[in-house]
Amino acid sequence: MRSLLLALLASTSLMTTTAQAADPAPPANTEARTPLADLGKDDPYKWMEEIEGERPLAWAKAQNTRSLAILQGDARYAGLESQALAILNAKDRVPGVSFAGDGSLRNFWQDADHVRGLWRKTTLESYRTAEPQWETILDIDALSRAENANWVFKGASCLPPDETRCLLTLSNGGKDAVSIREFDTTTRTFVEGGFALPEGKQNVAWLDKDTLLVAREWEPGQVTKSSYPYVVKALRRGQALADAKEVFRGTPDDVSASAYTLTDADGKVVATLASRGISFFESETYLLTDVGPMKLPLPLKHSIQAYVAGQMVMSLEQDWPERGFRTGDLISFDLAAFKAAPAKAAATLILRPTARQSVESVTTTRDKLMVGLLDNVTGAALVYDHGPGGWTHRKLALPANSTIGLGSASQKDDRLFVTVTGYLTPSTYWLADAASLKLEQVKASPARFDASTHVVEQFEATSRDGVKIPYFVVRPKGVKYDGSAPTLLYAYGGFQVSMTPAYSGVMGKLWLERGGTYVVANIRGGGEFGPAWHDAALKANRQKAYDDFFAVSQDLIDRKITSPRHLGIMGGSNGGLLMGVALTQRPELYNAVVVQVPLFDMIRYSQIGAGASWVGEYGDPAIPSERAVIAKYDPYSNLKVGRKYPEVFIETSTKDDRVHPAHARKAAARLEELGYPVLYYENIDGGHAASANLAETARRQALEYVYLSRKLMD
C-alpha cells in the first residue's frame, strides 16, 4: 500500500459479485477523540485554507510581489536563473527511456521549445547513437493549445503485451487530481468513444482491453477522510460511469482503496488484487474472485512487489513471526499454490538485509528478478533466478560507491536499463542483460559544473540517544576548517524515503561551483537502513528524526566545516516540516532556512489537503495523547516572540492538492504577525513539485540560491 500511495495511487475472469464492505480495522487508540472542529478553532488564519479563495490568493500575490522584488532584484538572480534554465533545457541532456511492448523505446522530453513536453519514441539502435531519431507520439504543448487547457503530463499506463493502447494521465496545472483518457499510439490520437475519466484523485488499472478497474469518487463526497477513493468498480468499454459494477469497497475511515493486476511477461493476468489502505503503511490485500473478494492472510505492513517465474514477490515492513520472517525481508510465494490455499502456501526467503542495508527497488525482466540494494547508502544491483532449489543471485558489475537505479525492464527478454550516479559524477545509463550479466554503457550525461574542485566524504554524527547518523559532505578540496564555508544541509527523514547520492547539475553550478558546501543527512524516518530506520521515528518517536538532524548540524559546526553564521538548511514536504521544527527548536544553529511545500500546522494537518492519510506517520491530533506529542514539535503553535529566528524563505504552490498551501501561508503570516522578516513565494501552478515546467523549476531554484547566497555567502 505504501508504494501505491507514494506513487500517488498509481496499478482469471472478472469477478461477478459485488464486494462486501471490509471489516474496519480495530482502533489503534481507544481514547475519546477531540472533535475536529475544536482543533485549531481559534486559528486566526484558518481562512487561508480556502485553496483558491479570493482573499488567500490576493494575500499570496501581494507576498509574491514583495518577495520577488527582493530576490529577483538581486544582481545575481538573472545569471543564476539563466544558468539553471540552460542546464534544465540543455539539448544534450540524456533522455531516459522505457521499453515498450511494441519494440520501441519511449521518452518524455521537455525543453525551451517544448515547455509542456513531448511524448516520443525511438529504436534501441537509434538510441545508441549520439543523436537518436525521435518520432512524436503526443505533443502536450499542442494539445494544451488546441484544448485551451493547462495540461501537465503525468504519465501513461499501457495495456500489455503490445502497449499501444494507453491511459494518459493529464493534470490541470500539476494537481494530483487528474483526467484520464485512452490514447492509441499507432494512430497517435485519442480513441474515439474510448475510456475517458473526468478529473479526480483516482487509480486506474487495465483488466483487459475492454475493462478497467477504477477507484474514484463515484458519487459526490464518496472519498475517504484523506480525500482518496475507497470504492473500486469495473468499467466496461462504452459503459457510462454510473453503470460501472462495484467489485470492492473499503470504508471512509481508510486512507484509500485500489485494485490492480499481476501479469506474466506476455501480459496475461494471473491475479486480480485489491488493496485496502488502513493507514499509509498498513493495508489489507484481497484476491478478487468470481465469488467476491477474499482477504489474504498477510501482515498489515507488506508490499507486493512483482510477479516472475510463477512467484509472487513481497517485501515486509514488519516482523512476521508466524512464518519466521523479519522486518525488511524480501520473500516469495508460488502464486498458484498461494491462490489455492493462502494460509498453507509456503513462503521462501529471497533476501534478508543486514542492519545497514535496505531493499530500495524491485523489478522484473522476462525471467529474472532484479533487486536494488542499499549497503551503507551505497547501491548494488542483484539478479535473482528461481529454480528447483529456490532463489540464487548474482551481482551486476557496476561502478562501486555509487547510487544505482533500476530503470525500465523488458518483458520480451532479460534486458533492463540501469542508472549510475553520484554527487560529483554525472549520471551514466547502462543497458544490462540480466541473463548474461553483460553491461553496455549507452549514454553518459555531460558534466554541468566543474567537479574537480570538490570531494565527497561520509561522516557520522551521534544523536541524542547515541545512535550514529551518517551524512555526506560535498566540499571544496581546499576548504579551511575555520567555520567559514557556506554550507547547505538537506534532509527529509520520513515515509521510508532514502536520501542517496545523486548528481544535480543545477545545484553544482549554482552552489558548489561558487564555493558552496553541500550536505545530505540520512536521519531516521527515512529508508536508508530499511523499515526499522523508518519505524524508529514514527509517531511518538518523531523527535528522534529532529534530534538526528540537529546532531548532524552540530557535528558540522564541531568539525569547523561551517558555523551557524554560514549554515543554511533546506527541505520540502515532510522535509518542510523538518525545517519548521529546526526553526522553532534550534534557530541558533542556522542563518538560512528554505521551507519548501511544507507541512507546518500539525494540529490541523489531518483536516487539510490529503493530511488524514499521514496519521500513520505522525499520529492523530484528535487523540489527546498523540496530540500532546505533536504539540511539542508543531512549528505553527511553537512560533514565539523574542526568538532569534533567521529570515526564512517559504515556498508553495496554489495547485498543491497534496500538502495544502495553507501550511506555508499560515507559517508566513504568523511569522509576520510576530514581527519576523520572511520571504514567501507561491507558484500559482506546479502541484506538489512547486513547478509545472522547466521554466518554473529554474525560477524556483534561482530564487533559492539567491536567498542562500545573501544569507550564507555575503
Can you say whether the dihedral through the CA atoms of 464, 469, 474, 475 is positive or negative?
positive
DSSP3 helix / strand / coil % (the chain, rounded to 5): 25, 35, 40
Q: What is d(CA 159, CA 102) in angstroms, rounded to the nearest whole number?
A: 11
Residues contacting residue 240 through CB under 8 Å, at least 6 positions apart: none
Q: What is d(CA 41, CA 629) in angstroms, rounded to the nearest whole number?
A: 19
> Which is the catalytic residue, given 573, 606, 653, 709?
573
Concatenated DSSP letters of 392-459: EEEE--PPSSSEEEEEEE-SSSSEEEEEEE-SSS--EEEEEETTT--EEEEEEPPP-S-GGGEEEEEE
Q: What is d(CA 398, CA 413) in angstroms, rounded to the nearest whole number?
A: 20
CA 239 to centroid of chain Cα atoms: 34
8 A C-beta contact, residue 620 and residue 140: no
Q: Is 604 helix (H, G, I), strand (E, B) or coil?
A: coil
Q: How far apart are the first and last CA of the chain?
A: 47
How do 487-490 and 468-476 pair as beta strands?
Answer: unpaired
Cell of 113: 521549445
Q: What is d(CA 314, CA 371) in angstroms, rounded to the nearest whole number?
A: 12
Q: b/e per residue, 356-391, with b = 16+ CB within 10 A?
A: ebbbbbbbbbbebbbbbbbeebbbbbbbbbbeeeeb
Q: Where are the beta strands (DSSP E) in 290-354?
A: 292-295, 302-308, 311-316, 330-334, 347-351
* Residue among 536, 517, 543 nearest 634 (CA): 543
CA count, 13 A, side-chain hemisphere, 542: 26
Q: Is 80 helix (H, G, I), strand (E, B) or coil?
A: helix
Catalytic status, residue 436:
no
Catalytic status, residue 279:
no
* Residue among 688, 604, 605 nearest 8 (CA): 688
Q: What is d(CA 421, CA 429) in angstroms, rounded to the nearest whole number?
A: 9
Q: What is d(CA 566, CA 486) in angstroms, rounded to the nearest whole number?
A: 5
Concatenated DSSP letters of 264-300: -TTS-EEEEEEEEESSSS-EEEEEEETTEEEE----S
Cell of 89: 533545457
Catalytic residue numbers read 573, 688
